[in-house]
Amino acid sequence: MAWLVILMAINVFYNNTRLNYNDKVIASLNKRKEKQLIAKREFTEKHKDNIEKLNKKHKKALDEFNQKKSIDKIAKNLKMGIRETRLIAKLYSYRGGEML
């Protein structure tokens, strides 16, 4: 009978410590995720103008690609790299990706 009481006490203690540990792990994960989201938002706000310029440039390159289909001419006219122009065409035009 005493062993049964001891085993029940150990079980209760183990479950309580396990729950506390799980709560601490979940709290630390939530804090880390919150910090990541804040950092991403701050980065986006900081570089908002650059992101808009890049999106406009890529949109212009995509429009010209849909008309001319010449990556070299587009890269030269918009003063972009050929790799960047090729990547834009591949992502947004060839594969039917989302529009900018």
Distance CA 42, CA 82 (A): 31
For residue range 15-33, what is the model confidence (pLDDT) as tens digits?
666 666 777 778 888 899 9
Structure tokens at 12: 């209760």
What's the pLDDT at 71? 79
Domain locations in the chain as residue ranges: 1-46, 48-94
Q: Which pLDDT band, with edges at 50, 70 and 90, does 41 fall under?
A: very high
What integer pLDDT is reported at residue 19 of this predicted model? 65
Closest CA to 58 of 74, 45, 36, 38: 74
For residue 62, pLDDT over 70 is answered with yes
pTM of the predicted model as reported, rounded to 2 decimal places: 0.47
When pLDDT is cut at 50, 70 and 90, the band that residue 90 belongs to is confident
**Backbone angle region of 80, left / alpha / beta, with phi > 0 → left and psi within -120 to 50 → alpha:** beta
